[in-house]
């Protein structure tokens, strides 16, 4: 079995049900092979597996280990190796091009993101809270703007495209902080293969959502098939349950407000009413006593103390039904919004309205950034295109790094940043071989 992944010391301690000190001793005694990465040790899956197989004393943990690593794997020719991708050396240098501020981040690096990521990995390892990427989709097409200026060529297809992505994902995983997460935007032709690659790299157990994004108006295709008006966003945590999650809510639609709040108050707008009592009897407490000449119905208790009930009445928030039942007025304007589900409608603007051919919807990026990062978090987009992620990250007071290898992208990013009054330091990678 080859899960091609790394474990932290904590992961191993948890899996083996031993202390971190015991794991450290295994490493010190050279029983367990570990690699030092930015001050902390990591153990490759294969090394961990060898260790488990050689140590009879921990044999009972084998099932736990195998359960944890039960991913599916995609086999294809010349599949890149994780260690090789992480540790192969390269001869390149990052050069300053234009410095506009003194901050550490908020920078755009022009060049191939594989070279750039390898070069900056040590500086950002475990530091990035949010990655959003929208790579080419392996379509074999060229993408130009309305003026027919070429933006970029998406010329890697099939397994070559998958391996191109795999190499970048291997490096991106290392950049993520313990509370970090990654969103990968892809189409539905190749996206299911990408899911398997991401399961391998980030771990099946860290998969959070496959978000269906409605990208345009319904299409009227001639072919014998359903219209295709959605793409997908694969969402993974570096470590499930530890990822930043701000639970941003979605406001109710007009239709939902009309449906759930059928009455109208002349000043406060739409409202509905809820019972002031709830199931369960209070035997001796205040909520079981008479209020306004009324006892709670049998088997129920008042939801509020009698003092609070009187206060609600004073504020005009109690409505009496025809049968003499008090109910609390609940206003649509006070509704906190609803839980966001995994189908999103964020249509992209048409070609004639955007400066870059595959520019993504800013409101969609806003949702992602608000939910999965905090103010001052570091956000990374290494397929930056028009800089849409970076612009939104900046607006929301996040730190950011953008990378792209297209001259057109660099040109549009500069233009967009100027329009949005965003200060950016520009760099470029120089391959020295
Ligand atoms: C689909 S576009 C991204 C669009 C972007 N999300 C936006 O909203 O404008 C993909 C981008 O990836 C860039 N790209 C492709 N291969 C790259 C590579 N090896 N290194 C860096 N950027 C690359 C392309 O130049 C292109 O700008």
> Which of 406, 407, 428 has the most ligand 1 atoms within 8 A of CB, as the residue to mutate?
406
Confidence of residue 71 (pLDDT cuts 50, 70, 90): low
Rounded Cα–Cα distance for residues 68 and 72 (Å): 12
Q: Residue 330: which H helix or E strand, with range?
A: strand 326-331
Tokens coding 39:
């001050």
Could you tell me if the CB of 110 is within 6 A of ligand 1?
no
Entry pTM: 0.81
Could you tell me if the CB of 365 is within 6 A of ligand 1?
no
Could you tell me if the CB of 405 is within 6 A of ligand 1?
yes
Rounded Cα–Cα distance for residues 118 and 429 (Å): 11
Q: What integer pLDDT is reported at residue 164 of this predicted model? A: 96
Query: Could you tell me if 131 and 172 are in contact, meaning their C-beta atoms sit under 8 angstroms apart?
Result: yes
DSSP state of 204: G
Atom number in ligand 1 closest to CA 113: 20
Confidence of residue 69 (pLDDT cuts 50, 70, 90): low
Query: Could you tell me if 129 and 393 are in contact, meaning their C-beta atoms sit under 8 angstroms apart?
Result: no
363: left (phi over 0), alpha (psi -120 to 50) or beta: alpha
Whether 196 shows a pLDDT value over 90: the answer reads yes
**How many Å lie between the centroid of ligand 1 and the Cα of residue 383?**
4
Rounded Cα–Cα distance for residues 92 and 398 (Å): 28
**How many Å lie between the centroid of ligand 1 and the Cα of residue 183?**
15
| % the chain with pLDDT above 90 | 67
Whether 147 shows a pLDDT value over 80: the answer reads no
Whether 148 shows a pLDDT value over 80: the answer reads no
Rounded Cα–Cα distance for residues 186 and 290 (Å): 61
Which tens digits make up the pLDDT trace of 261-285?
999 999 999 999 999 999 998 888 8
Q: What integer pLDDT is reported at residue 60 of this predicted model? A: 52
Which tens digits make up the pLDDT trace of 117-136?
999 999 999 999 999 999 99
**How many Å lie between the centroid of ligand 1 and the Cα of residue 149?**
15
Domains of the chain: 6-68 (1.10.1660), 82-248+340-431 (3.40.50.150), 254-334 (no CATH)
Q: Give how far Cα 55 sits from Cα of 49, 67, 70, 81, 264, Å.
A: 10, 18, 21, 26, 71
Average pLDDT score over residue span 71-87: 88
Could you tell me if the CB of 388 is within 6 A of ligand 1?
yes
Average pLDDT, the chain: 90
Burial of 232 (0-12, 13-18, 19+ CB in 10 A): buried
Rounded Cα–Cα distance for residues 245 and 48 (Å): 31
């Amino acid at each position: 079995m080859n899960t091609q992944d790394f474990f932290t010391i904590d992961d191993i301690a948890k899996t083996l049900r031993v202390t971190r000190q015991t794991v450290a001793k295994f490493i010190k005694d050279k029983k367990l092979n570990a690699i030092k990465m930015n001050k902390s040790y990591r153990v490759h899956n294969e090394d961990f597996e060898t260790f488990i197989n050689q140590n009879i004393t921990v044999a009972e943990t084998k099932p736990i280990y195998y359960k944890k690593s039960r991913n599916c794997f995609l086999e294809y020719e010349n599949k890149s190796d994780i260690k090789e991708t992480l540790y192969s050396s390269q001869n390149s240098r990052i050069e300053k091009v234009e410095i506009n501020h003194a901050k550490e981040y908020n920078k755009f690096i022009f060049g191939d993101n594989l070279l750039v990521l390898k070069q900056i990995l040590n500086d950002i390892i475990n530091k990035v809270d949010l990655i959003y990427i929208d790579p080419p989709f392996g379509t074999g097409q060229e993408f130009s703007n309305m003026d027919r200026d070429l933006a970029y060529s998406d010329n890697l297809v099939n397994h070559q495209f998958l391996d191109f992505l795999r190499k970048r994902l291997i490096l991106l995983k290392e950049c993520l902080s313990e509370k970090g997460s990654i969103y990968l935007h892809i189409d539905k032709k190749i996206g299911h293969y990408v899911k398997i690659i991401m399961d391998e790299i980030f771990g099946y157990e860290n998969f959070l959502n496959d978000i269906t994004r409605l990208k345009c108006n319904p299409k009227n295709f001639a072919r014998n098939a359903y219209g295709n008006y959605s793409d997908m966003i694969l969402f993974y945590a570096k470590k499930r349950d530890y990822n930043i999650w701000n639970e941003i809510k979605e406001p109710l639609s007009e239709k939902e407000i009309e449906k759930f709040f059928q009455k109208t108050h002349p000043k406060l707008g739409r409202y509905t009413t809820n019972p002031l009592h709830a199931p369960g009897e209070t035997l001796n407490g205040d909520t079981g006593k008479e209020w306004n000449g009324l006892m709670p119905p049998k088997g129920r208790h008042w939801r509020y103390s009698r003092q609070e009930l009187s206060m609600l009445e004073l504020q005009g928030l109690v409505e009496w039904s025809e049968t003499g039942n008090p109910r609390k007025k609940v206003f649509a304007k006070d509704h906190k919004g609803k839980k966001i589900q995994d189908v999103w409608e964020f249509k992209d603007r048409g070609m004639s309205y955007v400066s870059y051919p595959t520019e993504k919807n800013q409101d969609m990026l806003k949702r992602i950034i608000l939910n999965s990062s905090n103010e001052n978090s570091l956000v990374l987009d290494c397929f930056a295109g028009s800089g849409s992620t970076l612009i939104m990250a900046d607006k929301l007071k996040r730190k950011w790094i953008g990378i792209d290898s297209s001259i057109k992208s660099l040109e549009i990013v500069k233009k967009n940043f100027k329009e949005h009054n965003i200060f950016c330091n520009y760099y470029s990678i120089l391959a020295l071989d």
